[in-house]
Amino acid sequence: MAACAARRALAVGSRWWSRPLTGARGPIPLCAARGVGAFLPAATTTTRRHLSSRNRPEGKVLETVGVFEVPKQNGKYETGQLFLHSVFGYRGVVLFPWQARLYDRDVASAAPEKAENPAGHGSKEVKGKTHTYYQVLIDARDCPHISQRSQTEAVTFLANHDDSRALYAIPGLDYVSHEDILPYTSTDQVPIQHELFERFLLYDQTKAPPFVARETLRAWQEKNHPWLELSDVHRETTENIRVTVIPFYMGMREAQNSHVYWWRYCIRLENLDSDVVQLRERHWRIFSLSGTLETVRGRGVVGREPVLSKEQPAFQYSSHVSLQASSGHMWGTFRFERPDGSHFDVRIPPFSLESNKDEKTPPSGLHW
């Protein structure tokens, strides 16, 4: 409490960040307002934008919940690493890493534009580079405060029964890029509130970090690997709005004597500028290996028309698509509106929908 009292608090969206006063030395404590979530020293993320402290919730008391560590520039974080999400501000813990291929069209080699084709590749050739992501658990105490900016039930699975469209979600499961991890340590033996934390992790004070994987986590990871695996990430920026897409194959189901293949895709929208913009429309084109090309238009995304501003620059959501073919492509645009009423289109980078060729059995729920 004393450590937090000596710091100036600044809000970032619905989150709170605490900044050491000039001349402060020593370890930087991570603080939380009871019932609100984690606090972060602004000095660790100098590129983040801040609101004034007048937005501080009334009657909230700061409590120290841990001490920040220096983020890793090289290497990976280990299972059990506690962290704060640098964009959405929630507390979490690393379960295990994924090695993905990042296809960043912003750094693609210059190449002549090509006419749009059914595969959706109408621009530069993009070469992927290896990038680390992490499977993580989100602290349940923070979920209510990020639900307007990031879905906390975004990781979905096909249900194990006859309804080919039935899905279920594991609340508080997420994928986080390496650069979004702000690591910290805690003396609390159960620092993250999530129903799977103690089922997956065991406290061992001789280890660093002091939370090691139980056999339950290893078995769950192995059995559900095909349905959890993150392999490709696609990114593109248009007029300072960056769109990141991560597709996931979910499995195949039989419906009306045909095979239906399912994918989910996670999309993050980030405003890299200071101007306020609002997403108004989506326009998708979906190409199936069977030869069909479908166009989908609609208002907003997942029932929302999010505003991206300095204070809340990012929005993340997940959705689903099904095809009666084992592969396909998706691409499209998001239409945004400026405060003056003008509109502009932001490209969604084209991405492949690929199934597991060696799939033997469909996912059968949450394995332990």
Calculate mean pLDDT across residues 47-61. Answer: 43
**Nearest in space to 95 (alpha carbons), one of 4, 150, 175, 188:** 175
Residue 29: the pLDDT is 66
* pLDDT grade for 155, boundaries at 50, 70 and 90: confident
Which tokens hold the place of 85?
């999400």
Question: Stretch 23-40: mean pLDDT, rounded?
Answer: 53
> Does the structure show a pLDDT above 60 at 109?
no
Residue 152 has pLDDT above 50, yes or no: yes
Task: Encode pLDDT of 83-99 as tens digits.
Answer: 999 999 999 999 999 99
Give the tokens for residue 353: 């929908």
pLDDT bracket for residue 159 (50, 70, 90): confident
Looking at per-residue confidence, does 363 or 171 come out higher?
171
* 307-323: pLDDT as tens digits: 999 999 999 999 999 99
If phi > 0 it is left, if psi is from -120 to 50 it is alpha, else beta; for residue 138 that is beta
Contact 290, 351 (CB under 8 A): no
The pTM for the full model equals 0.80
Give CA–CA dist 39/8, Å, rounded: 11
Q: 183-215, pLDDT tens digit by residue?
A: 999 999 999 999 999 999 999 999 999 999 999
Give, in order, the Cα–Cα distances in Å from 21 to each of 8, 18, 67, 140, 218.
7, 9, 16, 30, 43
pLDDT of residue 165: 61
Range 142-158 average pLDDT = 87
pLDDT digits (tens, 9 = 90+) for 218-257: 999 998 888 899 999 999 999 999 999 999 999 888 877 8
Averaged pLDDT for residues 296-317:
95
Q: How confident is the model at residue 51 (pLDDT cuts 50, 70, 90)?
A: very low
Strand bridging mode 29-33 / 37-39: antiparallel
Confidence of residue 64 (pLDDT cuts 50, 70, 90): confident
E strands, 290-354, are 293-299, 307-308, 314-323, 327-337, 343-354
pLDDT for residue 27: 57
Tokens representing 209?
A: 């970090």
pLDDT at 43: 38
More confident residue, 341 or 111: 341
Residues 15 and 89 sit within 8 Å (Cβ to Cβ): yes
- Of 59-63, 82-86, 337-341, the one with minimum mean pLDDT is 59-63
pLDDT at 365: 47
The pLDDT tens digits for 7-20 are 322 233 333 333 33
Output the pLDDT for position 1.
40
Q: Which residues contact 25 (CB under 8 A, 6 or more apart)?
A: none
**Which domains are present in the chain?**
67-108+128-354 (2.60.40.1470)
Say yes or no to pLDDT of 52 above 80. Answer: no
What is the sign, positive or negative, of the torsion defined by CA atoms of 150, 153, 157, 163? negative
